[in-house]
A and B are shown apart, each in its own frame.
Chain A
Amino acid sequence: MKQLNNIFIAIPFILFVYAQVFALFFLPQSLVLVHILVLTAMTLLLVLFKWNWSFVFIASTTIMYGFILTWRAFTKQLLQEQQIEFIVMNSVYFVSLLSVWYSVHHLQKLKMTLENEKLKNVELQKFVNKHSSLLTNREFTERVSLSLVGLKRRNEMGYLMKISANMLNNKEKIYNKILAEVIEDCTRDQFDFFTNTDSSTFLIYLQNTTEEGSEVVKSRVLTKLSRQININELPLIFTTKRVEDLKDTIAYFKVGSFS
């Protein structure tokens, strides 16, 4: 496939060369110099415009040129064979510019892709640092471990809550999305963290709370979820445990895929 793409990238160059050979052989001698001058001027203009607007420019000038040639053919009462020459002139103009445009566009596209990737990277950094409590398993472990040190020092308690459901018939993806949104709504931003260990199991870390606090979160999750999901048909299992050592608590929850 990559090789095929490389071939396609070469096509504009091949087309350009053919168009110029065609121009040199078939255009009237008086027009060859005009063709070269117009092509050079247009190429410079193409570089100045944004790539999408430069295509509009090529299209408009080609159509205008076509209309002028048609008008000439009409006023001079040219026969069909003579009109073919005009078509060749219009085609040479269009193909030459299109091939140059595609090559310039290709380079600009590569540049844009690179810039977009950089931007995405910056956005992702922001996301990781400031937003969302849904963490990867690794981030979850790191943040909870760090938080536990602080909790112990301040003599506070932290709880880990597991929410799981028995899923049927491939509804995991949508269920996962809905449940993640509900958990995010029901927990404290920048304070509680959560992660999903598989498609239907979530682990929530509740910082500086008590058994009653965990119950409040459980009740909030159930209330919010019941607005969207029929929880009688889809029973959730809640398990809560005070965390003193993260490894031990995770082992207690038996979330095998947790990494």
Chain B
Amino acid sequence: MKIILLCVMVFFGLLLIYYSILTVSGIYFRQKKQIRKPLNEYPSVAILIPAHNEGIVIRDTLEAMLKLTYPGQMDVYLLDDQSTDDTADIGRIFSSFFKNCHYVQVPDGNPKGKSRVLNYGLSITKSDYFIVYDADNQPNADALKLLVEVAEETPNAAGAIGYVRTINQEKNLLTRMISIEFQVFQLLMQCGRWALFKTGSLPGTNMLLKRSVIEEVGGYDPYALAEDAELTIRITARDYLLPIVPEAETWEQEPENLKVFIKQRTRWLIGNLYLLEKLFYDPTYWRGKVLYHTGQHLLTYFFFVIMLLFSNVWFVLSLVGVDLPVLTQPLIMIWFLSYMVFSFQVIGSMIFNQNTSAINLIVGMIMYFTYSQIFLILLVRAIYFYSISRLRGKTIAWDKTKRYKEEPVQ
């Protein structure tokens, strides 16, 4: 027992040091002044927007795309996947008025989902690069230009990754927490990993890729529910780089209630389960940066959640007066330090994102006790649905995230 506890302690100690270093590196990368020169010639880019019943948001999205200032050839493709609302009408009107805006009706097919739609989009376009935006996104005017510049200037880059901000952060406590989570795990940690190990993870939106690279890796996997994570692995396996460009920002909506949030995140987790299974059975992925990505996935989605469960069970048992073994290992101190590192990541990202306010600080400090606990439910749900689908030999259906009517940013 003593040896096990000692191992747990050492392992956690090392993890805490690792995450502290990652945080500081992320902060350093964010603060470093990036000097970017404009390119002599800008390559052509296709903006792909997969959409299914997006009538409530698509007008603002298309307007934001047309406002992008890009010096090269830029075409916007609205990939309509069998919408039954007014998405098609809006798309057709924009397509008829604006020469670089194209409405594309994607043929019905299986499996349903974003990957198949994006593969279709790739098959009908010919640009040097393509960039994916979700149908609720409103990128800043310079986002595309910045991404292309970094992708062209970074040797061996497959593309470039921007930052996804939350447009409805102020809506309620949940959206505020999601926004903070994105600031930490999508930006600060991504920046830290890029600064230290030159690795990046595709976020699913605001991500630019070279056509030649996507063709080389064989397009999107239509069965992947977390298509971004899956594609990251295949691109990394070919030793391409995915640089991070924090200044290239897009704004997107996040779920405004718990039910929608749980549905969306369960899908993401199922996608990650699928990916882990795929990685497990293919030894060609057990090397270098791919192994690092796999470890990162295991830590984020499983190891931490299981340790969270263990810690909660221990806490509840001691509260109800169950006789637990007397421990002299500083486990409580380790737990406290973990909480402190987590909170520092949260607050640090707010500060360097210039998003500090008393309410955000308080929300950041309580996130471990509230928001993080939801991930227990998510993991249980994801494992349940994934196991059922595997046993029955069925494909899990794509689940679209609910949209809300918002005021545009720009």
Q: Do A and B bind each other?
A: yes
User: Which residues of chain B in 321-362 are interfacial with respect to chain A, using CB atoms and an 8 Å cutoff?
Assistant: 326-334, 336-337, 340-341, 344, 347-348, 351-352, 356-359, 361-362
- Chain B nearest CB from A54 CB (Å) reads 10
Asked if A11 contacts B362 (CB within 8 A), the reply is yes
Residue of B66, B331, B340 touching A62 (CB-CB under 8 A): B340
Residue of A55, A94, A105 touching B348 (CB-CB under 8 A): A55
* B401 interface hit (Cβ, 8 Å): no
Cβ of B327: which chain A residues have Cβ within 8 Å of it? 79-80
Cβ of A84: which chain B residues have Cβ within 8 Å of it? 332
Alpha-carbon separation in the docked complex, A94 to B344 (Å):
11
Q: Which chain B residue shows the least CB distance to A172?
A: B63
Q: Which chain A residue shows the least CB distance to B365?
A: A98
Cβ of A51: which chain B residues have Cβ within 8 Å of it? 351
Alpha-carbon separation in the docked complex, A111 to B109 (Å):
58
* A12 interface hit (Cβ, 8 Å): yes
Alpha-carbon separation in the docked complex, A234 to B334 (Å):
66
Cβ of B23: which chain A residues have Cβ within 8 Å of it? 59
Residue of B20, B63, B90, B333 touching A86 (CB-CB under 8 A): B333
Asked if A60 contacts B24 (CB within 8 A), the reply is yes
Alpha-carbon separation in the docked complex, A84 to B332 (Å):
8
Which of B97, B344, B347, B359 has most A Cβ within 10 Å?
B97
User: Which residues of chain B in 19-78 are interfacial with respect to chain A, using CB atoms and an 8 Å cutoff?
Assistant: 20, 23-24, 27, 31, 59, 63, 66-67
Residue of B13, B326, B356 touching A79 (CB-CB under 8 A): B326
Alpha-carbon separation in the docked complex, A8 to B360 (Å):
10
Alpha-carbon separation in the docked complex, A28 to B34 (Å):
49
Asked if B358 contacts A69 (CB within 8 A), the reply is no
* A245 interface hit (Cβ, 8 Å): no
Asked if A230 contacts B341 (CB within 8 A), the reply is no
Residue of B31, B96, B332 touching A230 (CB-CB under 8 A): B96
Asked if B330 contacts A83 (CB within 8 A), the reply is yes
Cβ of A78: which chain B residues have Cβ within 8 Å of it? 328, 330
Residue of B20, B329, B352 touching A63 (CB-CB under 8 A): B20
Contact with B along A21-57 (1 / 0, CB 8 A): 0000000000000000000000000000001100110
* A130 interface hit (Cβ, 8 Å): no
* A191 interface hit (Cβ, 8 Å): no
Asked if A55 contacts B341 (CB within 8 A), the reply is no
Asked if B99 contacts A228 (CB within 8 A), the reply is yes
Asked if B97 contacts A87 (CB within 8 A), the reply is no
Residue of B20, B99, B332, B359 touching A80 (CB-CB under 8 A): B332
- Chain B nearest CB from A184 CB (Å) reads 13
- Chain A nearest CB from B213 CB (Å) reads 30
Q: Which chain B residue shows the least CB distance to A109?
A: B356
Contact with B along A226-254 (1 / 0, CB 8 A): 11111001100000000000000000000
Cβ of A227: which chain B residues have Cβ within 8 Å of it? 99
Q: Which chain A residue shows the least CB distance to B334?
A: A70
Alpha-carbon separation in the docked complex, A73 to B330 (Å):
6
Cβ of A66: which chain B residues have Cβ within 8 Å of it? 333, 336-337, 340
Residue of B9, B16, B93 touching A169 (CB-CB under 8 A): B93
Cβ of B67: which chain A residues have Cβ within 8 Å of it? 174, 177
Cβ of B334: which chain A residues have Cβ within 8 Å of it? 70
Asked if B358 contacts A8 (CB within 8 A), the reply is yes
Cβ of A173: which chain B residues have Cβ within 8 Å of it? 63
* A67 interface hit (Cβ, 8 Å): yes
Asked if B340 contacts A8 (CB within 8 A), the reply is no
Asked if A90 contacts B97 (CB within 8 A), the reply is no
Number of interface residues of B (CB under 8 A): 44
Asked if B66 contacts A174 (CB within 8 A), the reply is yes
Contacts A80-B327, A230-B96, A230-B97: A56 and B358 contacting too (C-beta < 8 A)?
no
* B310 interface hit (Cβ, 8 Å): no
* B251 interface hit (Cβ, 8 Å): no
Contact with A along B128-158 (1 / 0, CB 8 A): 0000000000000000000000000000000
* A77 interface hit (Cβ, 8 Å): yes
* B94 interface hit (Cβ, 8 Å): yes
- Chain A nearest CB from B188 CB (Å) reads 12
Q: Which chain A residue shows the least CB distance to B341?
A: A63
* A178 interface hit (Cβ, 8 Å): yes
Cβ of B197: which chain A residues have Cβ within 8 Å of it? none
Asked if B63 contacts A174 (CB within 8 A), the reply is yes
Cβ of A169: which chain B residues have Cβ within 8 Å of it? 59, 90, 93
Asked if B93 contacts A59 (CB within 8 A), the reply is no
Q: Which chain A residue shows the least CB distance to B30?
A: A52
* B98 interface hit (Cβ, 8 Å): yes
- Chain B nearest CB from A235 CB (Å) reads 11
* B100 interface hit (Cβ, 8 Å): yes
Asked if B63 contacts A52 (CB within 8 A), the reply is no
Cβ of A73: which chain B residues have Cβ within 8 Å of it? 330, 333
Asked if A79 contacts B328 (CB within 8 A), the reply is yes
- Chain B nearest CB from A242 CB (Å) reads 33
Residue of B9, B66, B337, B356 touching A178 (CB-CB under 8 A): B66
Residue of B332, B337, B347 touching A55 (CB-CB under 8 A): B347
Contacts A9-B358, A229-B98, A230-B96: A83 and B332 contacting too (C-beta < 8 A)?
yes
Contact with A along B289-327 (1 / 0, CB 8 A): 000000000000000000000000000000000000011
Asked if B357 contacts A230 (CB within 8 A), the reply is no
Q: Which chain B residue shows the least CB distance to A94?
A: B340
Alpha-carbon separation in the docked complex, A45 to B9 (Å):
33
Extra 7 A-B pairs, beta carbons < 8 Å, given A70-B337, A80-B331, A169-B93:
A52-B351, A63-B337, A83-B332, A86-B333, A230-B98, A230-B99, A234-B97
Interface residues of B (CB under 8 A from A): 9, 13, 16, 20, 23-24, 27, 31, 59, 63, 66-67, 90, 93-94, 96-100, 326-334, 336-337, 340-341, 344, 347-348, 351-352, 356-359, 361-362
19 intermolecular pairs with C-beta atoms under 8 Å apart = A8-B359, A11-B358, A11-B362, A51-B351, A52-B31, A52-B351, A55-B347, A63-B20, A63-B340, A70-B13, A70-B330, A73-B330, A80-B331, A86-B333, A87-B332, A94-B340, A169-B90, A228-B100, A233-B96
| In the A-B complex, the 3 residue pairs with the closest CB atoms | A8-B358, A73-B330, A77-B328
